[in-house]
Structure 1
Amino acid sequence: MTDSATLIELDERIAAVRENIRTLTEQAAAYSGAADEDLAATRIAEQEEILAVLLKERETLAR
C-alpha cells in the first residue's frame, strides 16, 4: 500500500470519527438524565481519543 493510499484511508477514518463525534454531541443534547449524559460523555471522549490517535498517525505519514 502506498503512503497516499494510506493517507486517503486515514482521512476517511478521520472524517468518520468526526461525524461520530458530531452525531454523539447532537444526541447528548437531546438526552435527559445523568446516566444518559455520562454515557454520551464517555462515548464522545472515546471518539476524541481515537481521533487524536488517527491525527497523530496521519501527521507522521504526511512527513
Structure 2
Amino acid sequence: MHGEDVHLAEIERQIAATAAKLRELIEQSASHVAAMSEELVGQRIDDQAARLEILIRRRDELLRARSGED
C-alpha cells in the first residue's frame, strides 16, 4: 500500500469512529439529559461534528489529489 493509501485508510477509519461517537452522543443526549448538562452534551456533539467535518474534508482533498494524478 502506498503512503497516501495508508493515510486515506486512516482518515476513513477516523471518520467511521467519529461518526459512531457522534451517534452515541446523540443517543445519550436523548436518554441522559437529566443526568448530564444539556450544555455539556451539546458541546460534545458540536466538537464531534466539527471533527467529522474536518476529516471528511481531508479525505475529499486526498481523493481529489489522487484523481488528478491518474
Task: Indicate the percent of aligned positions where both proteins have the same amino acid.
Answer: 32
Q: Which runs of 4+ in 1 moved over 3 A?
A: none
Unaligned ranges ≥5, structure 2:
65-70
User: Which residues of 2 match residues 38-49 of structure 1 at below 5 A?
Assistant: 38-49=39-50
Tell me which amino acid in the other structure corresponds to 2:39. Answer: D
Q: How many residues align?
A: 62
Q: Which has the larger radius of gyration?
A: 2
Q: Helix, strand or coil: the match of 1:47?
A: helix
Match of 2:37 in 1: 36
Give distance in 1, aligned partners of 2:7 and 2:18.
Answer: 16
Give the aligned CA root-mean-square deviation in angstroms.
Answer: 1.4
What TM-score, normalized by structure 1, do the two folds share?
0.89
